Structure 1
Amino acid sequence: MTAQRVLLLNWRDTTNPEGGGSERYVEEVAKGLATLGWSVTVLCAAYPGSPREACRDDVKYVYRGSKITVYLHGLFYTWLHRPDRVIDVQNGLPFFTRLVRRTGVFVLVHHVHEEQWQVVYPGWRGRLGWWLESRLAPRLYAGCTYVTVSSASREELARLGITDIALIHNGTDPAPPRQRPKASNPTVLCVGRVVPHKQLEHAVDAIRAARVVLPDAKLIVVGSGWWEDALRNYVADRGLDEAVEFRGHVSEDEKHAAYDEAWILALPSLKEGWGLVVGEAAGHGVPTVAYRTAGGPTESVNDGVAGVLVNCPSEFTAATVRLLQDAELGLRLSQGAAAGAGTFTWQAAARAFDQLLTATSSRTPRSAHPPAPESVRAAAPDRPSPTGPRRQRSS
C-alpha cells in the first residue's frame, strides 16, 4: 500500500538560528510519523545558509520564503502537492490552508498569543495579529481538529470558541551522560530564543539580587534572537557583564553541557505552551523557576517537587535567590526533577498523532497502537486526562 502523505507547515525548523521548543516538537512528531509509515514533508522558512531541500530522519524538509512569505509558499505547496493530511502549525498565524482544501486539515497550536502580540508588535499590527488569531482563524478552521500541548492551552483555545481539541503533550529525550560537573559557583541557566516575550530581563534582575548575597552567582544564556542586543544593553547598564555569559545558538551537546553546569533553570517567559526546556533540565536534575501565569509550566513544572512556580517578578527573584542559597531545598527539588524526567516521550506523541490522522484516513488502523488523544469539548475543558487520554469522535 502506498504510504499516506502528511505535510507539516511550520514557520521555522530547529536548524534555523531562531528555532526553539515548538520547532523541536514538530520535528519529533514528523520523525515519529515517518517511522510509523507516513510519507512526511515539513515546509518552513528559508534562512541565510539554509538548503532548498534536505532529508533528515526520513523526513523531507522544504525551505521556502521568509518569516512572512513562508505562509504564501505553504499555501501554494499545499494546493500544488495535495497531501493526504495537513498539519497547519499556528504560531500566532496559521497558514490559511483551509482556503485551498476542506478536509484532512489539522491545526497545531502550542499556545494562544494574546499577550504577546502587543509585546512584539505594539499598536495596530499587534491588534491585527490578535484579530487574525482569535477571530478569523477559528472561523476559517471551523470543523477542523485542533491539537495542543497542555491543558492550559486547551482552555485558551476553548475560550476562543474552538470545540474539537486533542491534547498531545511534548516528549523529552533521556539526558545524555554528564559531560561537565555542576558549576562550583551558583549558576542560573536560561535556554531558548532571545526575544522580548521570553522576559530574560527578569532572570538578569534575579542574578543581580543574588549577587548581593552570593557575589560569584552567574547567569548563562543559551540561545539567540533579534532581542539579544537589547538584552546585552540591559546587562551592561546594570554592571553585570561579568555575571552574564551569552553562549548563543549552540549544538545539542553544548546545550546539554550547559544543563550539567546549572543549579537552576530560569524560565521567565510571558507564555509557554509547555516549556520543553523544563523536561530537558529535569533530565539533568535541574529544577525550574517559572511563572504560574505562563500557562504550560503549570503542568510541566511540578510545583514544590521539581521546581517553583511564582506569580510576579519579585517572587521570581526571591525564589531564584532562595534556591541558590538553600542547599537542602535545592537538593530536594533536584531529586524531584530527576525522578519526574521522562514521564512524557516523543514516541507517545507520535503514536497519538498517528491515531489522530488515521481516524479520518483510508488506511487500516493499527490495533497495536495505544489509545488516541481525547476530543475535548469547550463545555468541559477541565476534563482530566492523566495518562494519554482516549480520543472519541462524535458521530
Structure 2
Amino acid sequence: MRIAVAYDCLFPFTTGGGERQYRQFAESMAAAGHEVDYLTTRQWEGDAPSAPFTVVAITPALSLYDDAGVRRPAVAAQFAAALGTYLARHRRSYDAVLVSALPVLNVFATRAALAGTRVVQVFDYLEVWPREQWIAYSGRAVGLVAWALQRGAVALTPTATCHSELSARRLRAEGLRRPPLVSPGLISGRDRVDVVPEAATPPYLVYVGRHIQDKRVDTLPAALAWARRELPGLRAVILGEGPERAAVEAAVEAAGVADAVDLPGFVSEEALRDAIGGAAVLVNPSRREGYGLVVVEAAAFGTPVVLADDPGNASVELVTEDVNGFVAPSTDPAELGAAILRAVRGGPALRARTRAWYDDALVSRSIERTAATILAHIQDAVDSQRQR
C-alpha cells in the first residue's frame, strides 16, 4: 500500500511525544513493506532528511506556538490548508492516510480533499478536550469556536485512534459515531537502557518538560520544601524552559529552596538521560496529558514517577501504585510532597519493580503493536474498498 502520515512536526527536529509517535508509526509501516510519505512542515535546511520513508514538506517553516506556549490558530489553519491542497492534488495517489487530528482543522481539510475517493482515512487524536478546557486554554471566544470545531471534526471522523481510555471516553462524549481504536500503548524498545539500580546521593527529584501553565511546574518548589522537612538533603533538578519560567523561579524563592534547586534549562540528550537515570523520582504535576511518555522514559531506567491526579491527566493510567510510582491526589504541597517522600524512600526495591513494569510494558504496550493494530485496520479497509 501507499500511505501518507500527516503531522506538522518531525522528530528529531522537534522533540515532543507526538513527534516521536508519528515518526515511529511511519517507520513501522515502512518496515512492513509499505510506501510511506510523511507530510509535515519544513524544519531543516537543504534537502529533505534521510529516513526509511519519504519526507514531504508541504509548508515552509512555521512558528507553531506563541510566547505563552499556545498553538497559533492562524498557523494551524495554514498547515491544514496546505494539507488539503496537497491531498487534493494527490487524491488518487494513496491507499490510506493517517492524519493527526491535532489541530482538528486537519480533519476538515482531509475530508474535503479526499471526498469521493476510496482512500481510507484514519484520524489520530493525541488529546480530546471538553469545552471548559478549551475556554481555559484559549479564552472564551476562541475556546468556544475551537470546541465547536472539535465536535464537528469528531462527527466527520470515519475511524479514530487514541491512546488512553480518557481520550476514548471523551471522543464518545463529543459524538464519535464508531468505537475508537484504543492503542495498547506507545512504548518503544528504542527507549530501553540499562537500569540504574540505585539513585544518586544525595537524592533529587527531576522534572522534564516545557514550563507552561498546564504543566504546573511552579508547584514543585513548595512540595520540595515540604518533603525536605523530613529529608533535608533532597534536591530538585527542573529541566526545560517556557513562558512560566519566571513563575517557577519566583516559586523557588518563595519556598526558600533556592539552594536546593537546579534550573539548567534544556540540556543535551546525554545530560537528560543522566538526570533521569540518577533521580530518585521523576515528578510531573501536569494537569493535562494525552498519554504520558515521560512515565515510560523514566521507567526504562528504573526511576519511579509521581503524578498529580486530574480529570485531564491520562498519564495516571500508566501508574500502578507502589509498582512504578504514585499518584498524588492534588498539587497541594503536603499531598505532592508526601508522594515524593514515598517514592524516594522506596529505594532500590521500588526501582526494581519500576523496571520490571517497563520490561512487561515493552511487550504488552509497545508502539510497534499499536502501529500493527492501525495498519491491520487500514489493510482490512483497503482490501474491502478494492473488492467493491
**TM bin (shorter chain):** 0.7 to 0.9
Q: Please tell me whether residue 42 in structure 1 is matched to residue 38 in structure 2.
A: yes
Q: Which residue of 1 aligns with 2:26?
A: 30
Deviation at 1:268, TM superposition (A): 1.3
Q: Please tell me whether residue 193 in structure 1 is matched to residue 210 in structure 2.
A: yes
Q: Please tell me whether residue 89 in structure 1 is matched to residue 100 in structure 2.
A: yes
Bigger Cα displacement from structure 2, 199-208 vs 305-314: 199-208
Structure 1 residues 15 and 232: alpha-carbon distance in aligned structure 2, compared to 1, 3 A threshold? farther
Which amino acid in the other structure matches residue 31 of structure 1? E
1:55 is paired with a residue whose SS is coil
Which amino acid in the other structure matches residue 113 of structure 2? V
Q: Which residue of 2 aligns with 1:80?
A: 89
Which ranges of structure 2 fall in alignment gaps of 5 or more residues? Answer: 65-74
Please say if residues 58 and 83 of structure 2, whose CA atoms lie closer than 8 Å, have aligned partners that are also in contact.
no
Q: Which residue of 2 aligns with 1:157?
A: 171
Q: Which residue of 1 aligns with 2:3?
A: 6
Please say if residues 305 and 332 of structure 1, whose CA atoms lie closer than 8 Å, have aligned partners that are also in contact.
no
Please say if residues 117 and 127 of structure 1, whose CA atoms lie closer than 8 Å, have aligned partners that are also in contact.
yes
Which amino acid in the other structure matches residue 17 of structure 2? G
- Identity rate of aligned residues, in percent? 24
Which amino acid in the other structure matches residue 146 of structure 1? A
Which ranges of structure 1 fall in alignment gaps of 5 or more residues? Answer: 366-395
2-structure distance, mates of 1:303, 1:51: 48
Which of these residues, 146, 152, 176, is aligned with residue 160 of structure 2? 146
Structure 1 residues 138 and 257: alpha-carbon distance in aligned structure 2, compared to 1, 3 A threshold? same
Please say if residues 182 and 262 of structure 1, whose CA atoms lie closer than 8 Å, have aligned partners that are also in contact.
yes
Deviation at 1:319, TM superposition (A): 0.9
More helix by share: 2
1-structure distance, mates of 2:216, 2:289: 12
Deviation at 1:126, TM superposition (A): 2.1
Please say if residues 108 and 146 of structure 1, whose CA atoms lie closer than 8 Å, have aligned partners that are also in contact.
yes
1:1-395 equivalence runs, <5 A: 4-17=1-14, 19-46=15-42, 53-62=48-57, 64-65=59-60, 66=62, 67=64, 68=75, 69-82=78-91, 83-95=94-106, 96=108, 97-102=110-115, 103-114=119-130, 116-133=133-150, 135-141=151-157, 144-162=158-176, 163-168=178-183, 169-173=185-189, 174-177=191-194, 182-293=199-310, 294-314=312-332, 315-324=335-344, 327=345, 329-342=346-359, 343=361, 344-362=365-383
Deviation at 1:275, TM superposition (A): 0.7
Deviation at 1:264, TM superposition (A): 0.6
Deviation at 1:239, TM superposition (A): 4.7
Structure 1 residues 181 and 323: alpha-carbon distance in aligned structure 2, compared to 1, 3 A threshold? closer
Deviation at 1:27, TM superposition (A): 1.3
1:313 is paired with a residue whose SS is coil
Structure 1 residues 298 and 182: alpha-carbon distance in aligned structure 2, compared to 1, 3 A threshold? closer
Which amino acid in the other structure matches residue 187 of structure 1? Y
Deviation at 1:200, TM superposition (A): 1.5
1:54 is paired with a residue whose SS is coil
User: Between Structure 1 and Structure 2, how many residues are aligned?
Assistant: 354
2-structure distance, mates of 1:268, 1:257: 21
Which amino acid in the other structure matches residue 101 of structure 1? L
Structure 1 residues 11 and 223: alpha-carbon distance in aligned structure 2, compared to 1, 3 A threshold? farther
Bigger Cα displacement from structure 2, 184-193 vs 223-232: 223-232
1:284 is paired with a residue whose SS is coil
Deviation at 1:129, TM superposition (A): 1.7
2-structure distance, mates of 1:171, 1:92: 23
1-structure distance, mates of 2:268, 2:87: 32
Structure 1 residues 179 and 290: alpha-carbon distance in aligned structure 2, compared to 1, 3 A threshold? closer
Which amino acid in the other structure matches residue 165 of structure 1? P
Structure 1 residues 73 and 205: alpha-carbon distance in aligned structure 2, compared to 1, 3 A threshold? farther
Backbone CA RMSD of aligned residues: 2.8
Q: Deviation string for 1:199-237 (max 9, x for gaps)?
A: 222223322322333333222233344444443444355
Deviation at 1:180, TM superposition (A): 11
Q: Structure 1 length normalisation: TM-score? A: 0.80
1:361 is paired with a residue whose SS is helix
Structure 1 residues 268 and 52: alpha-carbon distance in aligned structure 2, compared to 1, 3 A threshold? farther
1-structure distance, mates of 2:245, 2:102: 21
1-structure distance, mates of 2:337, 2:376: 43
Please say if residues 195 and 300 of structure 2, whose CA atoms lie closer than 8 Å, have aligned partners that are also in contact.
no
2-structure distance, mates of 1:151, 1:30: 24
Q: Deviation string for 1:264-283 (max 9, x for gaps)?
A: 11121112222111111111
Bigger Cα displacement from structure 2, 211-220 vs 198-207: 211-220
1-structure distance, mates of 2:268, 2:39: 22
Structure 1 residues 196 and 14: alpha-carbon distance in aligned structure 2, compared to 1, 3 A threshold? farther
Q: Structure 2 length normalisation: TM-score? A: 0.81
Please say if residues 34 and 59 of structure 1, whose CA atoms lie closer than 8 Å, have aligned partners that are also in contact.
no
Please say if residues 221 and 247 of structure 1, whose CA atoms lie closer than 8 Å, have aligned partners that are also in contact.
yes
Structure 1 residues 41 and 51: alpha-carbon distance in aligned structure 2, compared to 1, 3 A threshold? farther
Which amino acid in the other structure matches residue 30 of structure 1? A
